[in-house]
Protein backbone atom coordinates (compact mmCIF):
# COMPACT_ATOMS: atom_id res chain seq x y z
CA UNK A 1 0.00 0.00 0.00
CA UNK A 2 2.86 2.36 0.84
CA UNK A 3 4.36 1.76 -2.63
CA UNK A 4 1.27 3.30 -4.22
CA UNK A 5 0.93 6.17 -1.75
CA UNK A 6 4.34 7.77 -2.41
CA UNK A 7 4.03 7.97 -6.25
CA UNK A 8 0.45 9.24 -5.90
CA UNK A 9 1.61 11.93 -3.47
CA UNK A 10 4.44 13.00 -5.80
CA UNK A 11 2.05 13.20 -8.76
CA UNK A 12 -0.39 15.31 -6.74
CA UNK A 13 2.43 17.64 -5.62
CA UNK A 14 3.60 18.08 -9.23
CA UNK A 15 0.08 18.93 -10.40
CA UNK A 16 -0.33 21.49 -7.60
CA UNK A 17 3.01 23.13 -8.44
CA UNK A 18 2.11 23.29 -12.15
CA UNK A 19 -1.26 24.91 -11.38
CA UNK A 20 0.39 27.49 -9.10
CA UNK A 21 3.00 28.30 -11.78
CA UNK A 22 0.28 28.72 -14.42
CA UNK A 23 -1.64 31.11 -12.13
CA UNK A 24 1.55 33.08 -11.46
CA UNK A 25 2.28 33.30 -15.21
CA UNK A 26 -1.26 34.54 -15.87
CA UNK A 27 -0.90 37.22 -13.18
CA UNK A 28 2.47 38.25 -14.67
CA UNK A 29 0.99 38.56 -18.17
CA UNK A 30 -1.92 40.62 -16.81
CA UNK A 31 0.45 42.96 -14.91
CA UNK A 32 2.57 43.50 -18.00
CA UNK A 33 -0.50 44.09 -20.18
CA UNK A 34 -1.71 46.76 -17.73
CA UNK A 35 1.74 48.40 -17.66
CA UNK A 36 1.83 48.63 -21.49
CA UNK A 37 -1.85 49.61 -21.93
CA UNK A 38 -2.25 52.73 -24.05
CA UNK A 39 1.36 52.61 -25.25
CA UNK A 40 2.42 51.98 -28.84
CA UNK A 41 5.54 49.89 -29.66
CA UNK A 42 8.25 51.34 -31.90
CA UNK A 43 11.23 49.94 -33.76
CA UNK A 44 13.52 47.83 -31.53
CA UNK A 45 16.79 49.46 -30.48
CA UNK A 46 20.13 47.85 -29.80
CA UNK A 47 20.98 49.96 -26.71
CA UNK A 48 19.49 52.40 -24.22
CA UNK A 49 21.34 54.76 -21.90
CA UNK A 50 21.15 54.21 -18.14
CA UNK A 51 19.98 57.79 -17.57
CA UNK A 52 16.90 57.32 -19.80
CA UNK A 53 14.83 55.41 -17.21
CA UNK A 54 14.15 55.61 -13.49
CA UNK A 55 12.42 52.30 -12.70
CA UNK A 56 12.81 48.62 -13.60
CA UNK A 57 9.90 46.16 -13.50
CA UNK A 58 10.54 42.45 -13.96
CA UNK A 59 8.34 39.66 -15.24
CA UNK A 60 9.09 36.10 -16.25
CA UNK A 61 11.42 36.51 -19.23
CA UNK A 62 10.80 40.26 -19.64
CA UNK A 63 12.17 43.46 -18.16
CA UNK A 64 10.45 46.84 -18.50
CA UNK A 65 12.70 49.90 -18.21
CA UNK A 66 10.32 52.72 -17.24
CA UNK A 67 10.97 56.43 -17.90
CA UNK A 68 7.48 57.52 -16.84
CA UNK A 69 3.83 56.78 -17.55
CA UNK A 70 4.23 57.61 -21.23
CA UNK A 71 7.55 55.95 -22.08
CA UNK A 72 9.22 52.61 -21.42
CA UNK A 73 11.35 49.97 -23.10
CA UNK A 74 10.49 46.27 -23.17
CA UNK A 75 13.33 43.77 -23.20
CA UNK A 76 12.62 40.08 -23.73
CA UNK A 77 15.71 38.37 -22.33
CA UNK A 78 17.54 35.52 -24.05
CA UNK A 79 17.88 32.52 -21.79
CA UNK A 80 16.15 32.13 -18.50
CA UNK A 81 16.70 34.32 -15.47
CA UNK A 82 14.65 32.38 -12.94
CA UNK A 83 14.68 35.31 -10.51
CA UNK A 84 12.85 37.72 -12.85
CA UNK A 85 9.51 36.16 -11.97
CA UNK A 86 10.20 36.47 -8.23
CA UNK A 87 11.51 40.03 -8.45
CA UNK A 88 15.07 39.14 -7.45
CA UNK A 89 17.82 41.76 -7.64
CA UNK A 90 19.21 42.43 -11.15
CA UNK A 91 22.98 42.59 -11.46
CA UNK A 92 24.63 43.71 -14.69
CA UNK A 93 28.08 44.69 -15.81
CA UNK A 94 27.79 47.38 -18.42
CA UNK A 95 30.36 49.63 -19.99
CA UNK A 96 29.92 53.11 -21.39
CA UNK A 97 26.77 54.03 -19.47
CA UNK A 98 24.32 52.00 -21.53
CA UNK A 99 22.60 48.64 -21.68
CA UNK A 100 22.85 46.78 -24.99
CA UNK A 101 21.48 43.56 -26.43
CA UNK A 102 23.82 40.72 -25.63
CA UNK A 103 24.82 42.17 -22.22
CA UNK A 104 24.80 39.47 -19.55
CA UNK A 105 22.62 40.00 -16.50
CA UNK A 106 22.24 37.91 -13.38
CA UNK A 107 19.51 37.67 -10.80
CA UNK A 108 20.34 37.32 -7.14
CA UNK A 109 18.10 36.46 -4.23
CA UNK A 110 17.52 39.41 -1.88
CA UNK A 111 18.08 37.04 1.04
CA UNK A 112 21.76 36.16 1.05
CA UNK A 113 22.55 37.24 -2.50
CA UNK A 114 22.51 33.72 -3.91
CA UNK A 115 22.71 33.59 -7.73
CA UNK A 116 19.26 32.60 -9.02
CA UNK A 117 19.74 32.95 -12.79
CA UNK A 118 21.73 34.34 -15.67
CA UNK A 119 20.67 35.47 -19.15
CA UNK A 120 21.42 38.09 -21.77
CA UNK A 121 19.46 41.14 -22.84
CA UNK A 122 17.58 41.18 -26.12
CA UNK A 123 16.59 44.20 -28.22
CA UNK A 124 14.89 47.14 -26.48
CA UNK A 125 11.43 47.87 -27.89
CA UNK A 126 10.34 51.42 -27.04
CA UNK A 127 6.72 51.96 -26.00
CA UNK A 128 5.34 55.50 -26.01
CA UNK A 129 1.97 57.09 -25.31
CA UNK A 130 -0.23 57.27 -28.40
CA UNK A 131 -0.32 60.97 -29.41
CA UNK A 132 -3.96 60.62 -30.54
CA UNK A 133 -5.23 59.93 -27.00
The model's pLDDT over 39-89, given as tens digits with 9 standing for 90+, comes to: 999 999 999 999 999 999 998 899 999 998 889 999 999 987 888 888 888
List beta partners, residue 129. Answer: 39
Across 19-57, b (16+ Cβ under 10 Å) vs e yields eeeeeeeeebeeebeebeeebeeeeeeebbeeeebeeeb
Per-residue pLDDT at 132: 62
pLDDT digits (tens, 9 = 90+) for 1-27: 445 454 555 445 555 556 556 666 678
- Of residues 120 and 2, the one with the higher pLDDT is 120
- Of the candidates 113, 116, 111, the one whose C-alpha atom is nearest the C-alpha of residue 85 is 116
Amino acid sequence: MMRLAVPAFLLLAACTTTAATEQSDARDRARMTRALAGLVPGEPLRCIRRDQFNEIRTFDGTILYVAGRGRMWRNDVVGHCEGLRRGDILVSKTFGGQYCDGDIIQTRSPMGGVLSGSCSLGKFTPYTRDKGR
